Amino acid sequence: MASTEKTKRSLAKQCPQCSQALPEGERPSSYPFCCERCQLIDLGQWLDGGYGIPGEPCGDIDPGDEA
């Protein structure tokens, strides 16, 4: 099996926001979402702090202190 076939098979088959089945063949411009609406809902959740990375906060980063 060619690597492109494996890649196509491993792509998401449902929208991560609404679980609607994604169309077969060409990916929508809003991929991995089914439409722009679901894409914007997800973006809003990120911006509102609905998603996060678990763990202790890093604290403030001093812009003048480069590593």
Return all residues near 51 (Cβ < 8 A) that are at least 6 apart.
45
d(CA 17, CA 33) in angstroms, rounded, equals 7
Per-residue pLDDT band at 67 (split at 50, 70, 90): low
For residue 34, how many other CB atoms are within 10 A of its CB? 20
31 vs 40: CA distance, rounded Å:
12
The whole-angstrom separation of Cα 46 and Cα 40 is: 10
| pLDDT for 57 beyond 70 | yes
Amino acid at 50: G
The mean pLDDT value for 12-30 works out to 88
What pTM did the predictor assign?
A: 0.60
